[in-house]
Structure 1
Amino acid sequence: MARIALKVDVDTLRGTREGVPKLLSMLAAVQAEATFLFSLGPDHTGWALRRVFRPGFLKKVSRTSVVSNYGLRTLMYGVLLPGPDIGRKGAAEMRAAAAAGHECGIHTWDHVYWQDNVRTRDAAWTRRQMQHAHRRFVEIFGTPPTTHGAAGWQMNDDAFLQIDDWGMAYASDGRGTAPYIPTVAGKPCRHVQMPTTLPTLDELIGVDDLTEDNVHHALLRLTEGPGDHIFTLHTELEGGKLAPVFERLLAGWRAQGHDLVSMATYYRHLDRTDLPQLPVTWGEIAGRSGELIIQP
């Protein structure tokens, strides 16, 4: 049976408080596992407005309703309103995901700050940000995290090395086609990268006549054949306005015979001895602005 690992990125306070409970209900209805990756520090979503001059950014946001997906208040965090502490205000919802049997891991400390800066920052900055998130995770869950999934699929060499230093066996920090072992400065890391293999809903909607009503058909066509996949969803989207789309996807994947699993379960079925060693690489993905970590 082919597996689809459900990787849930939780970017904002609203996504934590409102999107997580909604997704837990949908996943329970089809007996699906998932990995929830949490933003654990301040919500500075409003800082993302500075990306307006980035090539492709306006084209992307014009295809999706940013205000309805994220909420006007969230878009003011860090601009006209102070950024709330997600880990403090959303801890109960985070623990509820673990209590429901789902794997929980680190997304980031400060989502926009990491996404917009990590590529050019040094080891000290990188490890400080990651340790902030790690300490908060332990405070909330009482146990170290098992995995990491980078905000915006943005990393640097020191971030990959920090994952090794934490002793994590696997992470999902980029985009690609299949698991591999990343190399930094020509040396293989000790952990496995399991990249997101399917396009996200916000990358597809508004392209080639795809809408909220039919986009699930496009994704289901990509999972018709054999082979495992990792699908990234967001609590602000699939746990909000796009919940009906995700429900259709869950039903479609079940009808195709897929096992819907967490990243932990996905990893347990891997044979590390067969995995290629590949260098950390940057590139573009259709439907998304800017460069991100990709599988070479």
Structure 2
Amino acid sequence: MSTLALKIDVDTWRGTREGVPRLVELLQRHRAGATFLFSLGPDHTGRAIRRVFRPGFLSKVSRTSVLEHYGLRTLLYGTVLPGPDIGRRAAATLRAVRDAGFEVGVHCWDHIRWQDHVAGLDAAWTRREMERARDRFSDIFGETPRVHGAAGWQMNDAAYALERELGFAYASDGRGSGPFQPVDANGRPFGVPQLPSTLPTLDELIGMDGLTPDNVHAHLLALTADPPAQGHVYTLHAELEGMKLLPTFERLLDGWTAQGYQLVSTGEQFARLDPFALPHCRVSMGEIPGRSGVLSLQGAAV
């Protein structure tokens, strides 16, 4: 049976508090596995206003109703309002996800800071951010995290190397076509195996080519009609599929089940792989349709 791994990025305090419990309940009803990746430090979503100067950002905002999905209060955190410390205030909620049988891992410490700055900063800055997130995860769960999934699919070479040093078993940091082992500029393997997201996200699709919350599931189901040998990874967001787009996500779950997929965590999908047989690929920063800016992309095998 082909697998489709569900990777849930939890970016904000509101998404943690409201979206995560709704997703847990829905996934349990559908007997679906999933991996929840948590932002563990302060919610500074309001600082994303700096992206207004990024090409394509205003177009994406107008298509996806950011205010409707995130709420005014969230969009003021880190500017007019202090950012809530998600990991400290929601530790019980996070542990409840693990106790419900779902895989949990690290998304980041500060989502906005990582997404907006990591690609251009050095190894020392990257280490501080990753160690903060790792340590907070360990404080909450009493164990070290096994999986890392970068905020905004933003990475640098130091971050890939640190994943192995900090004890991660695998990661899902970028976009691509299937599992791979990242290599450096000299073709040497570094970091940990990657399970990139293989499908577009709802916020990349809605508002494009007549796609709406009511019909976008049909577009995605057409993309998954022919299962790849090593399965798909679909990234969803607690702030979107866990809230206003919950009915859309439920239609996807029904559709994927009808297509014969086993809905699993990224950890379950990783456990089925032979890490030593993965293709070796470089990673680079590039653009994809429907998303502003650049992000980490799987390159050709070397």
Q: When the two structures are superposed, what TM-score results if normalisation uses the length of structure 2?
A: 0.97
Gaps of 5+ in 2: none
* Alpha-carbon separation, structure 1, partners of 2:165 and 2:193: 13
Does the 8 Å CA contact 1:181/1:278 hold for their aligned counterparts? yes
Deviation at residue 268 of structure 1 after TM alignment: 1.0
- Counterpart residue number, 1:270: 273
Matching of residues 105-254 of structure 1 within 5 Å: 105-186=105-186, 187-227=188-228, 228-254=231-257
Q: Deviations over 1:271-290 (max 9, x none)?
A: 22331111121110110000
Deviation at residue 270 of structure 1 after TM alignment: 1.0
Secondary structure, counterpart of 2:106 in structure 1: strand
* Alpha-carbon separation, structure 1, partners of 2:157 and 2:243: 34
Does the 8 Å CA contact 1:169/1:190 hold for their aligned counterparts? no
Deviation at residue 190 of structure 1 after TM alignment: 4.8
Deviation at residue 169 of structure 1 after TM alignment: 2.2
Deviation at residue 241 of structure 1 after TM alignment: 0.4
* Alpha-carbon separation, structure 2, partners of 1:189 and 1:104: 23
Q: Which amino acid in the other structure matches residue 121 of structure 1?
A: L
* Alpha-carbon separation, structure 2, partners of 1:288 and 1:181: 25
Q: Which amino acid in the other structure matches residue 240 of structure 1?
A: M
- Counterpart residue number, 2:49: 49
* Alpha-carbon separation, structure 1, partners of 2:90 and 2:169: 27
Select 1:281's aligned residue among 278, 281, 284: 284
* Alpha-carbon separation, structure 2, partners of 1:236 and 1:24: 13
* Alpha-carbon separation, structure 2, partners of 1:190 and 1:117: 20
| RMSD over equivalenced CA pairs, Å | 0.8
The more displaced of 265-274 and 36-45 is: 265-274
* Alpha-carbon separation, structure 2, partners of 1:117 and 1:258: 37
- Counterpart residue number, 1:14: 14
Select 1:293's aligned residue among 272, 280, 296: 296
- Counterpart residue number, 1:67: 67
* Alpha-carbon separation, structure 2, partners of 1:226 and 1:236: 28
Q: Deviations over 1:171-203 (max 9, x none)?
A: 000000011100124220251111000000000
Deviation at residue 49 of structure 1 after TM alignment: 0.9
Deviation at residue 93 of structure 1 after TM alignment: 1.2
Does the 8 Å CA contact 2:162/2:191 hold for their aligned counterparts? no
- Counterpart residue number, 1:77: 77
Deviation at residue 166 of structure 1 after TM alignment: 1.9
- Counterpart residue number, 1:100: 100
- Counterpart residue number, 2:262: 259
Q: Which amino acid in the other structure matches residue 188 of structure 1?
A: P
Deviation at residue 154 of structure 1 after TM alignment: 0.2
Q: Which amino acid in the other structure matches residue 216 of structure 1?
A: H
Q: How many residues align?
A: 296
Gaps of 5+ in 1: none
Does the 8 Å CA contact 1:46/1:76 hold for their aligned counterparts? yes
Among the aligned pairs, what percent are the same residue? Answer: 61
* Alpha-carbon separation, structure 1, partners of 2:33 and 2:283: 29
The more displaced of 9-18 and 276-285 is: 276-285
* Alpha-carbon separation, structure 1, partners of 2:70 and 2:159: 28
Q: When the two structures are superposed, what TM-score results if normalisation uses the length of structure 1?
A: 0.98
Does the 8 Å CA contact 2:283/2:298 hold for their aligned counterparts? yes
